[in-house]
Structure formats: structure tokens, C-alpha cells
Structure 1
Amino acid sequence: MPRSASSSVQRARQALAGRLRELVTDSGLEGRQVAALCGWHPSKVSRISTGKTQPSADDIRAWCQACGAQDQTDDLIASLRAVDEMWVSWRRMERAGLRRPQEARLPLYERTRWFRAYSPGLLPGLLQTFGYTEDVLRAVQRRRVAIDDVADAVAARMERQSVLREGRRRFAFLVEESVLGNGLGNADTQAEQLDHLLAVAGLPNVSVGVVPVRLGRVRMPVEGFWIFDSAQVNVELVSGYLTITEPSEIKAYADTFATLAGMAVYGGRARVLLAKARDSLV
């Protein structure tokens, strides 16, 4: 991942590096002495302590051993894993198939009360029908996943949709108009999906906005993202899955969502666009 991709990730990496530097200071050792005790070149200690290189779990164990701080090893490894989870490549996330990533997101959905989602390419997962989801995940599996557990992954995503009707949750979805005619499957699947979208949009706790195709936009389409309450943003990039927790970055996405929401149409005007997309399938 580019080092500038998220200040949330960089801050977490720097915080871990700072804790490792503190262990060296508290031990009374110098960096080259830590390197010698670990059997490393001194430059490795320098890169880790400045956050230029992320340590492995084994590096942390050796570092703590050299500094006489074995009691801090578990906490520091836990911090390392938290940093790792902020940016996960698709290859790493999906190495055991597509089902586990779908199931792993369920606790986040269950504890969230206010969902905001923007999608420039496909309908968000919570709005998808079984057939549409199957087409989407099958395309993902063919493109980058050797294991075929699409059926289980679809079932997991369908289970997650229960949050739409359980508890006191609010949902605001924004999609680009092009999404309405951008299906991977056949006309029947797309028609069913558009009908389902109309039904879900009628729920009292759900808002569905469509950003029309038109000239003079004040904000061009951006990458798809989800905002969970005001605590976390997840972004799906070409190369992986980014988790953002830095308040200033969350605000940037919230402001972008608000701008796009102001450009969208709702209610009857949105239904006109949905009907237009459905009619084009005939």
C-alpha cells in the first residue's frame, strides 16, 4: 500500500515504532546494541524504530528480549496485528475463500447504528438480491480467488442483511445512476434487483439516493466507501481493503458523502430513474 494512502495507518505504525523506541530508551541500550543482541544489521533497528519498516511478530519478540521487556511482548504483537488489519490486500483477505471475509464483517454491522454507503460501480451489499450477489461474488472469485465457496459467501452476505430490519438502525445509501444499469448478470436478475431496490427504499429507516448522470457536477465520483456510525470508514480499493479510524479522515469521507447526497435525487425522482433503468432491460 502507498505510504500516503491513509494517515490512520501511518499514525498506527508510528505509534508502534514509538513504543519500541521507548523500550530501547528504558533499557539504557543504544540501537546498535539492540541490533547486536538480535543478530541484525544496525540499519534494521533504525528502520523499525522510525516506522520505515514494519516489524514482524518475531522481530518484536527479539526486540523485547534484547531490551529485557518480555512482559510487553504480547501487547506489542497485538498492536502489530491491529495495524495489519487496517490495510489488508485482497490476496491476503481471500486466501481461504470468500466466505470468511463476509462473515468477518458481521460483528461490525451488528454494533453499528448509523450506516452511510456510497457506491459508484455496484449496488451496496445490503441492497443486493441473492441473484445479484451471486453474480458479483462469482465475478470476484473468477478474477482473483482459487477456492470456490461462492455459495457459502452469498449465504453469509444474505444473513448480514438482517440488520436492515433488526434494531433501531438508520441507513443512507448513495449510488451513481450508472449503477442501475451496470449489472453483471442477465436482464431477469437485473429486473429483480431493481424491484428489490424499490422495496427496500420504502423502509422507514432506509434512504436511497441516486446521483444522476448530468453535466455541471460539483463533485465527481470517488471510490466506494462505507461509514459506520462516526467511528470507522471502510474503503474497497483495487488492491485491498482499507480501514480508517482517524477522525480527520472520517470527517473527510462524511463531508464527501454529504456533498454527494446533496447532488442525489430521492423518492419520486429516484423512482423515475429506476423505472427508466428497468424499461431499458426490455
Structure 2
Amino acid sequence: MTDPGSSQEALGARLRELRAETGLTGKEFAGRLGWQESKVSRLQSGKQKPSAEDLALWAAAAARPDVLEELLARLRAVESQPAHWSRQLAAGHAPVQDRYVVEYRRTTAARGYETSVIPGLVQTADYARHLLTQNAALMRSPRDTEAAVQSRMRRQEVLYDPERLFRVLIWEAALYAHVGTAATMTGQLDRLVGLIGMSTVDLGIVPLRAPMPLTPKHGFWIFDEQRVVVETISTELQYDGSDDVALYTRVWDQLSEHAARGLQAQRLLGRVRASIARA
């Protein structure tokens, strides 16, 4: 699979080629754009990922509006490449969690589906602490667990903004995957019960015995109906193509039709909690 760094370098090389066609030096081209010369240099070398707006301005400055779609397609290719956790976690989990805080603050509406874990957006601190400790050991990354937990809790501030809506589906099997102690799990289940009825959260539990129209699939999140994020053990994948977003939306909609909500979800969570108490 292509490394995202090489795709970004290839995009930079294409930008350099377009700039060279104008006969302008990097400094002169930067002047035409109204940018610092250092930005032009970083973009051409692939050290900085351009935004869609950057590419539009670059194509216009090169008098090549015909290549804009090509450049945007190259940018989508860069953004859809896997971001390997080994690189993202090189400085620990806290920086990654801080990024999520920013991303969720930019989000007005999101819908997610998880099959094996309670989503970070609705985790308790204790549950998150156990997960992050496990993951740091697995990935052999720096142990900054407490800072990462605090950042994950800050992410949840968006749940109390009345202008937002988070629609969360959890496959029932995830509720039985014990993380930490029995107290950790009962506290987490109580947290989920507390979300029921919130105006900003639509919580659905997909029962194990529900007549599902498709197999459970893997977890994913759709942000503002424009971007899909999928996490695997080794990578984070992002898709923003309309076909990809539409596909994941169909999957979410079909699973949602069979999800327990409200009192039904509360009873289901109660049964899981009772099973933990009996164990």
C-alpha cells in the first residue's frame, strides 16, 4: 500500500512542475500568491499538505485552471492513504487525543458504529484509562496515559452543546467485552444509560439477536456527512469521496433500523449489567 508521505511528495512535485512552467522562481511565484516563499517551498517539497483552497490558488497563479480537478484528486488520494498508528503515536496518545478534541469541535453532526468497544466519545475515564494503557503496551508507544485520558474527556464537552447531534450505534457484543474491572464495566454501562434521553445524543444498541440485514461489519464514523473515518489495529483510514460516504451511510442506516433505543436500550443495558454482577 502506498505510503501517504510519498503521495504527498508526488503532489508537491506536480506543484513544482506547474510553477516551473510559468518561468517564475519560487520567490516570484510566492509574491504572485501573496504567500511567504517558505510556504511555496514546503508545498513543493511535500513537507506540507496543501488545502483545497491552496490548490485552487496555485492553479490560478499558474494560469492553469484546467488542472485543478487533477490536483484535487491527488489531494484526495493523499488524504485517503492510511495514517499508521506507529507514526501517529510516536509522541504518545495525548497528541492524538488532542487532535480529536479539535476535530470534534469542528463537527456539527456525526454518526458512528462500534462493534467491539465503547466509543471514546462516551467512555468513562476509568474505561478509557484501561484501553489506553493496553494500547500503549500493544503499540510500544510512550506512556502518557493520564494526559491522554484528560484529553479524551475534553472531547466529550461537545455532547453538551445543544447545536450538535451525535448518533451512536453500538453492537451489543461490545458491552460484553470486559475492559478493566467489573466496577469499570458497570460504571461504563451506567454512563451509557445516562446518555439516553439527551437531546444531543441518539444512542442505539444493535442487539445480538436482531434480524440484521447485513453482517455486523467493522466500526466507522461519519462526520458532517462528508468524511468517513475507519480505525484498524495498525492504521487510521479516511474517505471523503461521495460514493464512500454514501456506502457507509447506507450501512449505518440499515443497522440503525434494528437498534434498541430509549427504554428498550435501557433494559438491554440493565441485563448486561446484571450479568456482570452475577459473574
TM-score normalised by the shorter chain: which range applies?
0.7 to 0.9
Whether 1:79 and 2:49 are equivalent positions in the alignment is: yes
Return the alpha-carbon distance in structure 2 between the equivalents of residues 150 and 130 of structure 1. 11
Q: Whole-Å Cα distance in 1 between the matches of residues 10 and 216 of structure 2?
A: 33
| Residues 256 and 73 of structure 1: CA distance in aligned 2, closer, same or farther (over 3 Å) | same
* Aligned counterpart, 1:134: 129
**Residue of structure 2 equivalent to 1:117:** 112
Residue of structure 1 equivalent to 2:261: 266
Q: TM-score, normalised by structure 2?
A: 0.75
Contact 1:120 1:176 (C-alpha < 8 Å) held by counterparts: yes
Amino acid at match of 2:271: K
SS of alignment partner, residue 257 of structure 2? helix
Q: Is the contact between residue 97 and residue 147 of structure 1 (CA under 8 Å) also seen in structure 2?
A: yes
Q: Structure 2: 5+ residue runs without aligned partners?
A: 27-37, 52-74
Query: How does 1:1-282 map onto structure 2 within 5 Å?
Result: 1=1, 16=11, 19=14, 23=18, 26=21, 72-76=40-44, 77=46, 78-79=48-49, 83=78, 86-214=81-209, 216-282=211-277
Q: Using the alignment, how far apart are the partners of 2:244 and 2:172 within structure 1?
A: 26
Residues 111 and 90 of structure 1: CA distance in aligned 2, closer, same or farther (over 3 Å): same
Amino acid at match of 1:269: Q
Q: Deviations over 1:80-132 (max 9, x none)?
A: 79726852101000011111000012121001110101000101011111111
1:145 partner amino acid? R
**1:2–1:120 distance in 2 versus 1, CA, 3 Å:** farther
SS, match of residue 156 in structure 2: helix
Post-superposition offset of 1:238: 1.9
Could you say what secondary structure the match of 1:118 adopts? strand
Deviations 1:205-237 (A, max 9, x none): 211111111275311112211111112111101
- Distance in 1 (alpha carbons) for counterparts of 2:199 and 2:190: 17
**TM-superposed deviation, 1:14:** 11
Whole-angstrom distance in 2 between the partners of 1:104 and 1:190: 27
Q: Which runs of 5+ in 1 are unaligned?
A: 4-8, 29-60, 62-69
Could you say if the C-alpha distance between residues 216 and 260 of structure 1 is closer, same or farther in structure 2, counting changes exceeding 3 Å? closer
Structural RMSD (CA): 3.1
Q: Give the secondary-structure state (helix, strand or coil) at the position aligned to 1:276.
A: helix
d(CA) in 2 for partners of 1:107 and 1:120?
25
Q: Decide whether the 8 Å contact of 1:173 with 1:207 is kept in 2.
A: yes
Indicate if the aligned counterparts of 1:16 and 1:80 stay in contact, CA closer than 8 A: no
Q: Is the 8 A contact 2:210 2:258 kept in 1?
A: no
**CA offset digits 1:165-219 (Å, max 9, x no partner):** 0241001000001111112111111111111100012212211111111275311
Quote the Cα distance in structure 1 between the aligned partners of 2:95 and 2:14: 32
Tell me, in whole angstroms, the C-alpha distance in 2 between the residues paired with 1:147 and 1:215.
41
User: Identity across aligned pairs (percent)?
Assistant: 32
The runs of at least 4 consecutive aligned structure 1 residues that moved more than 6 Å come to 12-15
CA deviation vs aligned residue, 1:35-62 (integer Å, no higher than 9, x gap): xxxxxxxxxxxxxxxxxxxxxxxxxx9x
Given that 1:211 and 1:260 are in contact with CA atoms closer than 8 Å, whether structure 2 keeps it comes out as yes
Relative to structure 1, the CA distance from residue 216 to residue 199 in structure 2 (aligned partners, 3 Å threshold; closer, same or farther) is: closer
- Give the paired residue count: 237
Task: Tell whether the 8 Å contact from 1:122 to 1:183 is kept in structure 2 after alignment.
Answer: no
> Does the 8 A contact of 1:95 with 1:145 survive in 2?
no
Query: Structure 1: which amino acid aligns with 2:223?
Result: F
**Distance in 1 between the 2:145 and 2:16 partners?**
45
